[in-house]
Amino acid sequence: MITELLVAILLGLVVAAAVVAALARGILTTLAAFGAYSLGLAVVWLVFRAPDVALTEAAVGAGVTTALFLVVVARTIGFGVPQQQRQNSTPSSEFVDGDEATRVGDAGASEGTRLRTAVTGAVRQGRRRSVVVASLVTGGLLLTVPALPVVGAADTPGFGPVTEYYLTDSATRGIDNVVTAILVVYRGFDTFGEIAVVVTAVVAAVAVLNQGEER
């Protein structure tokens, strides 16, 4: 009972954080809400007794991803909009729905106003479209929820004979954390491929980021 209440509160927090992240005007607000979203999910995993996933979600989702986003935003469009400009021009140097951020504040007065209204209109339109798409995707996903098995149902694949084998065999091998045993001992080939993907990703990122940098 108390667990269900806790899960309900946590999921409510996660949904609220997701909505704030999607609709916030300031990029910094979006990033903070996104971090809160990941942290809420991490606690949900913890409640569902998946501490390994919780640790990953907290470290990657709430920690590192937020830091990477901060660095990228600081390098590209920046946070530096004075408070006054922010109040009379709604979306100036904010990054919404992939629209190109325009430094409206730097432009001349009349030109700036025209540009500002254009950007505001584009953002509004894009925002409405994204709200529709997000609602459709959410509705479609919610339709699949009744097909999911009940949490802890005995006839799910998670309780098959292979699980028994993993639990007993990893204990005889001397590995107490079954998750690690599955990742490295039983499914080592998959993990090998996974780490190759991680290395390839950074090689590609470094190759792309080094382009155009005179060294």
Give the footprint of other proteins on this chain (CB under 8 A).
51-52, 55-56, 59-60, 63-64, 67-68, 70-72, 74-75, 79, 173-177, 179-181, 183-185, 188-189, 191-192, 195-196, 198-199, 201-202, 205-206, 209-210, 213, 215
Considering only CA atoms, which of 12, 67, 7 is closest in space to residue 43? Answer: 7
Measure the CA angle with vertex 60, ends 55 and 63; round to 5°.
100
**Least separation, in Å, of the C-beta of 32 and other proteins?**
13
- How far is CA 172 from its chain centroid? 38
Considering the complex, what minimum distance in angstroms separates the CB of residue 94 from other proteins? 16
Nearer Cβ to other proteins, position 140 or 174? 174
Closest to other proteins by CB, 72 vs 136, is 72
Q: Report in angstroms how near the CB of residue 61 gets to other proteins at its nearest.
A: 10
* Distance of alpha carbon 79 from alpha carbon 70, whole angstroms: 9
- In which residue are the tokens 């155009």 written? 212
H or E element that contains 39: helix 27-47
4 versus 106: smaller Cβ distance to other proteins = 106
* Contact in structure between 123 and 95 (CB atoms under 8 Å): no
* Residue 125 beta carbon to other proteins: minimum distance, rounded to whole angstroms: 30
The per-residue b/e assignment along 199-209, b for 16 or more CB within 10 angstroms, e otherwise, is eeeeeeeeeee
Q: Which is nearer to other proteins, 11 or 60 (CB)?
A: 60
DSSP reduced 3-state for 186 = helix
The whole-angstrom distance between residue 110's C-alpha and the CA centroid of its chain comes to 39
Nearest distance, CB of residue 92 and other proteins, angstroms: 19
1 or 197: CB nearest other proteins: 197
